[in-house]
Structure 1
Amino acid sequence: MNIPCNWSTCKLPLVAYFQEGPGLRKYQYRDKGIPFLNIRTLINESVDLSLCKFLDEDEVDQKYIHFLLNEGDLVCSTSGTLGKLATIKASDLPLMLNTSVVRFRTLDQAVMLQRFLRLYLKSEGFLSQARLASTGSAQVNIGPSHLATFDFSLPPLPEQKRIADKLDSVLARVDACRDRLDRLPALLKRFRQSILTAATSGRLTEDWREQNAIGNESWHYPMIGNLVAIKNGRAFPSADYADEGVRLIRPGNLHHSGSVQWSAKNTTHLPESYAREFPTFVLGKGELLMNLTAQSLKDDFLGRVCLKTDSVPALLNQRICAFYSKSSSDIRPYLFVYFRSPVFRSYVETLDSGTLIKHMHTKQLLSHVIPVPTENEQTEIVRRVEILFAFADRLDARLATARKQVGQLTPALLAKAFRGELVAQDPADEPAAELLKRLAAQREAAPKAKRGRARA
């Protein structure tokens, strides 16, 4: 990589000290004492002390005192998830290193600023070397021996400060933008839920009823069993699952977006002979399906409803049901709106039996009372919901694009900084080569540690 003429390239150990934590065993863990880091505790460039485990204070004093961290230390994960970073604050102390986490400190603030070292550890220049040097097939890992080989581009000291000041300002704005974008998915979810609430309460089409001189009394409240019949899926033998044949709709195919989705990971087949043997379980396009089993009530998985929008035949597996209108008019489009509404979700939450696996029985579904407008108003409700949801989907797409672009800003700015392109060079700055010479001279002049003879 080309760098400005007053920069210098060196190996990381020439300008920074790094130390990996010790390997600790579970039998050493205590309920109180000195907390120690693990990868999970590094969150948003800070340490979450509530996730720390502890070592006995006496054991730390006797064996691990040199692994205690200091205010301002940089810690970085070097195993599993590479590059999770945090700066140690005074309020974090006392705190100890652990294996898979490395502490970094600049050797001399007159040569390299700690602020600049932090930026290096966030940069692609560091992370790419870490990925290249990492070992392990199941879990990547780097250690001090790898770090000792890393290249480091050192600018003059005043330029380091200019770079750090500039990035602190710009990245703060990037982070603020990212935070605002991260709040939007929840707002869009509430927007969709408010649409569904208005749709199933009559507020969404209140003006339509006024225009058509239809009163609120036109709504009635039957049980679902009076409107539709329910068909439960069949328990097809998993021993016959295959890579090709007729598709099998399973709970994992019911996507939170409201459509049946297929991927290489979630698609299972059965031999075509099953479709011929069980034709009543073969589904086509337009089927309304619901999941009847979940391990928890999170993510609205129990009672999740989807439309099958493709025409490829698929078998209906157990734990999923399909709905069929009892009258000549098809009420399923309106039910698709109602089943996604907060009113129905509140009903599903009352079905929590406290068991590990949550179930919804067809008897409970059939006896559930719902608000139903006239057939013409159902059509209008569905039309308006589809228009508003399409608008929300477009916002989702624009949001995804914006989040991707913002996510690329920080790496791009850091890369620009470490190419020497972020701030202007000043010819009056002392070249980095002189800083390295001074540091080398200090190291040479430092007293050498004496080696004692081993005792017999």
Structure 2
Amino acid sequence: MSEKELPAGWVRARLDEIAEVRLGRQRSPKNHSGDQMRPYLRAANVGWDGLKIGDVKEMNFTDDEVAIYRLAKGDIVLGEASGSASEVGKPAIWNDEIEDCCFQNTLIRVRSHLVNPKYLLHYLRYEALSGAFVEGSRGVGIHHLGAAKLSSWPMRIPPLAEQHRIAEALEGHLSRLDAAVATVRNSRKRLAILRKTALLDLVPEEAPDSWTASTVEQAGTVELGRARHPDWHHGPEMHPYLRVANVFEDRIDTSDVMEMDFSGIFEKYRLHPGDVLLNEGQSPHLVGRPALYRGMPPDVAFTNSLLRFKANSDVMPEWALMVFRRHLHARRFMREVRITTNIAHLSSKRLKVIEFPIPPLDVQKQLVMRCDELLSGIDVMDREAARTLTRADNLRRAVLNRAFTGALVAQDPTDEPATALLARIQADRDAQPKAKRARRTPAAPRKAKTPAPAPDPTPAPTHAVQQEFDL
């Protein structure tokens, strides 16, 4: 958020000056059972649309721990960490949905002191949506916001009466926007059903007698791309390559194409127009996601996160793409995957045995044309829906930006300024009894040990025998 001059009556403050910030309780196998099992929230329970309490877990909390980690109405919980940058710091408000519910250390709790909790929720949501939280996070792969970082987060605090007006205005604007977004998302779901229905009708599970019942291996060749290695990040024969992040359903994204050294082996992995690329490693429902390489970008190779299918002469590449899209939507690939570290893998061996119906070439051409007619209309509507969602996101940010720069509602010069609110918060904190540390009882001085008496000397034997040994 820009550091322009604040509206009259507003003040800047750290989050921990207006709220208590606390990281949740850590999970441990020893707490998976016990006689004091309590419900708790985790990051998976926090969504952009609010809390998801349909799958709340339990673990053992002592009474003392419940006193620390129990959620109270108006508390805000934020995702402490995420592998997705757009999810870091995602907040939701707690409204006493479950009795004696606590929270885990994948969440940070913000408990406001006198500040309007809904104003605070929308402010933190704006910071998350704008990407500010991920910019302030740490970690590689997993972005951690951290309770300490959040505690020092800069806030813009309007007068308390204006907080109420801002929160009320935002509730009205955003509820209407949320309703419109929900309608568009439902439309996209219906379009996805139409797309699936079209593909399953055009590529039936039971092939007509005039078609050839084949397998992927019999319909063409399957090859795995080249493995990546740090040693090949630089070299004499640098070439661009495609990876799983570039291959979407019937679309190749060329906005982020990387390069590596293919010295002596480029032709082996070079793509040719008509090659079909499939995701080898992905989330289970996206594994096998296919796209047809049509020559762009030119002179490009592919890595082992992708599989390449080269169709035989009796198979049109466009028909092969239809077959693979059909299998994707029918979740046929999911029956062949193996999951390692949460990533589903579709090996070339398992892909080769999947069924691949082959109609006569003239029938293939007719079905490909029919598919283009049906899906092109669906794709146009889907792209327009996606643009509408993007515009809705931009509108949401604009509304929130106006709210927290003092432009959404009118200022009232009779409002008590926020400086007085901060002074009351500090006075309330000062009035709270200080938690006394339990004084350790000094250990009693150790007594010096009395040395043990020396043992009595062993008496000499009355008869000594002298032995002689031969040298």
Distance 1:238 1:350 in 2: 22
After TM superposition, list the pairs within 5 Å mapping 1:202-281 onto structure 2.
221-223=210-212, 230-233=219-222, 252=244, 255-258=247-250, 270-272=262-264, 275=267
Instruction: State the match for 1:183 in structure 2.
Output: 186
Q: Which of residues 12, 19, 32 is equivalent to 1:29?
A: 32
Matched-pair contact (CA < 8 Å) for 1:75–1:85: yes
Matched-pair contact (CA < 8 Å) for 2:80–2:146: yes
Distance 2:381 2:253 in 1: 21
**Shift in Å, 1:169:** 0.8
Distance 2:358 2:246 in 1: 23
Instruction: State the match for 2:77 in structure 1.
Output: 75
- Give the residue type in structure 2 aligned to 1:29: H
Q: Normalization by structure 2: what TM-score?
A: 0.69
1:10 aligns with 2:2: no
Instruction: State the match for 1:214 in structure 2.
Output: none
**Shift in Å, 1:102:** 2.5
**Shift in Å, 1:222:** 2.9
Q: Deviations over 1:97-156 (max 9, x none)?
A: 333533222223xxx222222222223299777556545556544555444433332222
- Give the residue type in structure 2 aligned to 1:48: I
Distance 2:432 2:21 in 1: 21
**Shift in Å, 1:332:** 1.2
Distance 2:163 2:318 in 1: 62
**Shift in Å, 1:27:** 3.1
Instruction: State the match for 1:454 in structure 2.
Output: 439
Matched-pair contact (CA < 8 Å) for 2:43–2:79: yes
- Give the residue type in structure 1 aligned to 2:117: Q
Over 3 Å counting, the alpha-carbon distance change for 1:149 and 1:229 in structure 2 is: closer
Matched-pair contact (CA < 8 Å) for 1:19–1:102: yes
Over 3 Å counting, the alpha-carbon distance change for 1:256 and 1:4 in structure 2 is: closer
Matched-pair contact (CA < 8 Å) for 1:234–1:316: no
Q: Deviations over 1:260-291 (max 9, x none)?
A: 6778678777444674xx7xx9763234x476
Matched-pair contact (CA < 8 Å) for 1:197–1:342: yes
- Give the residue type in structure 2 aligned to 1:61: D
**Shift in Å, 1:323:** 2.0
Worse-matched range after superposition: 149-158 or 309-318: 309-318
Over 3 Å counting, the alpha-carbon distance change for 1:435 and 1:34 in structure 2 is: same
SS in 2 for 1:92: coil
SS in 1 for 2:398: helix
**Shift in Å, 1:421:** 0.5
Worse-matched range after superposition: 61-70 or 118-127: 118-127
Q: Deviations over 1:200-253 (max 9, x none)?
A: 68xxxxxxxxxxxxxxxxx97131569x97442467885999567597999949
Q: Which of residues 95, 99, 104 is equivalent to 1:93?
A: 99
Distance 1:353 1:390 in 2: 30
Distance 2:350 2:368 in 1: 26
Instruction: State the match for 2:450 in structure 1.
Output: none
After TM superposition, list the pairs within 5 Å mapping 1:389-408 onto structure 2.
389-408=375-394
Report the structure number with the largest CA radius of gyration.
2
1:38 aligns with 2:42: yes
User: Hey, which of these two has a bigger chunk of helix by percent?
Assistant: 1
1:416 aligns with 2:402: yes
Instruction: State the match for 1:61 in structure 2.
Output: 63
After TM superposition, list the pairs within 5 Å mapping 1:311-390 onto structure 2.
312=299, 320-326=308-314, 332=316, 335-336=319-320, 339-340=323-324, 342=326, 349=332, 352=335, 359=349, 365=355, 372=360, 375=362, 379-390=365-376
Over 3 Å counting, the alpha-carbon distance change for 1:432 and 1:191 in structure 2 is: same
Matched-pair contact (CA < 8 Å) for 2:221–2:311: no
Distance 2:435 2:240 in 1: 73
**Shift in Å, 1:388:** 3.9
SS in 2 for 1:286: coil
Over 3 Å counting, the alpha-carbon distance change for 1:148 and 1:455 in structure 2 is: same
Distance 2:287 2:428 in 1: 64
**Number of aligned residue pairs:** 416
**Shift in Å, 1:339:** 1.6
**Shift in Å, 1:422:** 0.2
Instruction: State the match for 1:48 in structure 2.
Output: 53
Over 3 Å counting, the alpha-carbon distance change for 1:62 and 1:301 in structure 2 is: same
Matched-pair contact (CA < 8 Å) for 2:78–2:90: yes
**Shift in Å, 1:171:** 0.7
CA RMSD for the aligned pairs? 4.6
